[in-house]
Every structure is written in structure tokens, then in C-alpha cells.
Structure 1
Amino acid sequence: MIKTVIIDDEKLARDVIKAYLKKESNINIVAECANGFEGMKAIQEHEPDLIFLDIQMPKLTGFEMLEVLEHKPVIIFSTAYDEYAIKAFELNAADYLLKPYSESRFKEALKKATAKIEQSESGTAIEKIMQDHKEQQESLDRVVIRSGSKILIISIDKIDYFEAQDDYVAIHSEGNKYLKQLTMKWLTSVLPENEFVRVHRSFIVAVRMIDKLEAYSKDSFIAILKNGDKVSVSRSGYQQLKTVLNF
């Protein structure tokens, strides 16, 4: 039996999926969820083989949920937003259902998903999906973080600065520090350029947090932040700050 979780904020969409799945003798629907948080809880509890996942949902989007998953099921995306129907997701998800879809199209997607489950491809596929999503993403307005058993959503206007730490980035926000597997290069490409500046290869700082700059050596500076933290500023970072702050 293939353990399955349905995650969609629209009841009608969940009902359609359930109706189609009832005709499949090898499917066991273990949970249905109306948002990403419920979906996270259900996946943690049931460790399903397959999930039907909407992308645009309140509270936590489908992609944000995938970012913090520990258990890696096979995914069939199901959504009404065709702008997400790009080649990357079609390649790495089991399939992509664009609402409204026919029963025959649904069966085709389920057949592909079953094959992936049998081949144990789910973990690698999710990693590729998230990598492709990041490459397509043009802007960032919040960060989703797993902190113990909690899922935190941090708006970028609450982030003071980012600090590179080996394969992770430390996110400093309101006196707290969270680690997330990101790259400084990617953050530089998606953060608002007039609100965040990469002042050093190891630091990206929110411009609103800078209190003053002090010379450290001939070619480097120290940024004193409003919370008292000190951040290294390279020569090129200093030039970028001059442009953004107009001094």
C-alpha cells in the first residue's frame, strides 16, 4: 500500500483527488491537510510514500514546506497557477497537475509517481526541485527555518544580517541566530539590493541596521550595527555602501 497525504487549501481540490484515489486499490490516504503547517505535521507523523501538494497556500507555501522537510516523499504538484509549470518541476517531481485536470491525466501522474516510489527516487528529486526553485526565484521576502520541532517564518525586514558559516548561513534576527543551508551568492541575487548589501565575503547586512562605520585598516572597515554587533566591511563592500547610502 502506498501511504498518501493530500495537501491543498481548497476542499474541492482535495475531494477530487480523494475521489480518484478511491478507485486505486494500492493507495492508502493517511491524511488530508488544508495548509503547509498541517502538511508538515502529517508528513512527520505518517512518513508517507506520496504527497499531492498545492504550491500557493496560506501560512506556508508548498515550496517553503519542502525546504524544511526531513522525510522525503514522492511529490505530485497540483495547482491552478500555470506560471509554476516549468520544465524543472516537471523533470524532478513525479508529475505536475494543472487544475482542472481529467481523471486520465491524474492516472498518468499516479503511474509516474508509483514508478518513482518503486525506484526510491524521492529524496534526490526533492533536492533537485528545491535547487531548481531557488535558481528560478527572483526575490526573497521571508525565510522559513526549522528550529527544533518548530517552523519559523522570518520576514526579511526582521533580519539584521547574514553571516557565512561553512556550508550554512547564520541568520541574525532580533537577537537570535538561526542556521540554514543557503549560499551567500544566492542571497545576494534575491535580496532587495537597496535594503541589503554584501559588505564582505562573509556578511550581508541590512542597511537599516548600520549605525556607523569605523576604519579598521587601510583597506577594511568595521560596521557598528544598531544592536551593537560588529561586522567586517571590505574595500569593495565599503564602496557599495557609499553608493547605497550616498555619502
Structure 2
Amino acid sequence: MSKPLRVVIADDENLARMLIKEYLRPHTDLEIIAECETGTAAVNIIETERPDLLFLDIQMPELTGLEVLEVTGRLNGVIFTTAYDQYALKAFDLHAIDYLLKPISQKRFNEALEKAKKLLSMNALEDANNIRKIIARNTDKNQQLQIRDRGQIYTVPISSIDYIKAEDDYVLIHAAGQVRMKTQTLSDMEEQLNCTTFVRIHRSYLLNLKALKCIERQGKDSMVATLLNGEKLPVSRSGYERLKLCLV
């Protein structure tokens, strides 16, 4: 017999959590391991417990559901719950991700649950890509990043970022004289940020054009980007071509 799927319920409404628990009762292949009322608590539980399935309210205190996904890098096994009406939901573009509109019926709940189980068994790449797109739209809308670094959650305005550097399986975000670490690939970060403002100048560097002072040749075949703060970053040949397209 396979192990039950481990479930976390994140919703600031006690009645909503109680209803989800009641709807989950007949499903013996699921185990509720935790529930929480705030976005910050959801981040802590997700990172410590690594649940298989997450029922996540969009609007919660401290961090929204979308910000919880951004901070944790959670890209699958998510069912959104929300009290927003259909019109308001268009702002989140959730058509590709399953969500439960409150008040939730048992029939609709079971449909969403079966879909989530199927996607989990498939490890669906499409599901992860859809969540990436939703996070990117939310980032573009709010013009800020949510970063958990050394146990603290920081809000970093995108306008304050000078550049982002890849470092193993995480990135270092250089902003306003400070460096924040985020567990995310540089490619995912590039997709999340506005491509007209940030340019991949090197396999390890993503540059905010607003921080650029000039491009200089250094040696016969190498270029460097000099920033307004005096820092110099390497520029690859392909990165130089991308820069030229953006600076015309």
C-alpha cells in the first residue's frame, strides 16, 4: 500500500479550513499534516514539511498565496481557494490552474482533488510552467520580489536591483547596496522579471539596464559592463548582442 499524500491547508478563515478538512475526511489516501492562517506560517510549513498537496488561499495576512509560492518556489501540487468572484479572478489569470471558489461544494472539491492527484502522479511540467507564469505576472504587477533569506522574508523593489548573479543552485540579488540569496535558477528569475528592463549579459549575470553606465572592451575578445555604482560585470558575446538590441 502506497503512503498517503501529505496535505497542508493554508487559509486564514477557520470555517474554510474546517470545511476542507470535512471534505477530505472520506479520502483515506490523504493525510492532513498541518494547517495555518498566515502566508508566513505557510512558507515555514511548506519549507519544513514539503507537503505533496497544498490548499492555498489567495488572500492571506502577511503574504498572499502567490507570494507564498514565489518565496518557496512551489510549482506543483497547489489548489487555490478564494472568495474572489469570477471577474476578480481574471486579474490572477488562474484559468490554467485549478482553484476553488468559496463557498466550496463537495462536488467541485472532489473534481479539483482528482485533477490534482492526476497531475501529481504525472509530475506535470505544464502545471509548473503555468504557476511560473502566474508568479511572473504578479511580480510585474507589484514590481517587487519576495525573498526568504536566512530565515527572514524581505520585500525587494525591482527598481532597486542592480544585477542578479547565479551561484550554484541559487541566485544572489544585488539591490540597494545589499545582497539577498534566493533559491532559484537564473533562467527562472529571467522569466519572472520584465525582459525589457533586465538583460542576460552572461550565463551567470542578469543586469538591470537602469544600473548600467557603459560597456567597455577589456582585452581583445572580452567586454565588461560598468555599473553606476562602479562595479564591473563580464559580458559574453551573446550577452553583448542582446545588450546592443536593447540599447538602440
TM-score scaled by length of structure 1: 0.67
Task: For residues 37-71 of structure 1, give each alpha carbon's deviation from its aligned partner in whole angstroms, at most 9, with x where no partner exists.
Answer: 13224556777775421234464232432354499
Unmatched 5+ stretches in structure 1: 91-95
Residue 216 of structure 1 and its aligned partner are, at CA, apart by 0.7
1:86 corresponds in structure 2 to: 95
Residue 205 of structure 1 and its aligned partner are, at CA, apart by 1.1
Give the fraction of aligned pairs with identical amino acids, expressed as a percent: 36
2:10 is matched by which residue type in structure 1?
I
2:209 is matched by which residue type in structure 1?
V
1:69-84 aligned within 5 A: 69=72, 75-79=78-82, 80=84, 81=89, 84=93
153, 156, 159: which is aligned to 2:155? 153
1:1-247 aligned within 5 A: 5-9=8-12, 11=13, 14-19=14-19, 21-22=21-22, 24=25, 31-33=35-37, 35-42=38-45, 51-57=54-60, 59-69=62-72, 75-79=78-82, 80=84, 81=89, 84-87=93-96, 89-90=97-98, 96-109=99-112, 116=117, 129-135=127-133, 137-138=136-137, 140=140, 141-173=143-175, 174-184=177-187, 186-246=188-248
1:93 corresponds in structure 2 to: none
Task: For residues 172-212 of structure 1, give each alpha carbon's deviation from its aligned partner in whole angstroms, at most 9, with x where no partner exists.
Answer: 2223142432233x444443344222223332211222233
Name the CA distance, whole Å, in 2 between partners of 1:5 and 1:76.
11
| SS of equivalent residue, structure 1 residue 160 | strand
Q: Alpha carbons of 1:22 and 1:148: their partners in 2 closer, same or farther (altered >3 Å)?
A: same
Name the CA distance, whole Å, in 1 between partners of 2:221 and 2:76.
50
TM-score scaled by length of structure 2: 0.67
- The number of aligned residues is 230
Q: Alpha carbons of 1:239 and 1:147: their partners in 2 closer, same or farther (altered >3 Å)?
A: same
| SS of equivalent residue, structure 2 residue 63 | coil
Residue 97 of structure 1 and its aligned partner are, at CA, apart by 1.4
CA contact 1:200–1:234 (8 Å) conserved in 2: yes
CA RMSD of aligned residues (A): 4.1
1:232 is matched by which residue type in structure 2?
P
Name the CA distance, whole Å, in 1 between partners of 2:51 and 2:237.
51
Residue 111 of structure 1 and its aligned partner are, at CA, apart by 6.9
| SS of equivalent residue, structure 1 residue 208 | helix
Name the CA distance, whole Å, in 1 between partners of 2:73 and 2:203.
30
Q: Alpha carbons of 1:72 and 1:208: their partners in 2 closer, same or farther (altered >3 Å)?
A: closer
Q: Alpha carbons of 1:233 and 1:58: their partners in 2 closer, same or farther (altered >3 Å)?
A: farther
Name the CA distance, whole Å, in 2 between partners of 1:195 and 1:158.
12
1:133 is matched by which residue type in structure 2?
I
Unmatched 5+ stretches in structure 2: none
| SS of equivalent residue, structure 1 residue 134 | helix
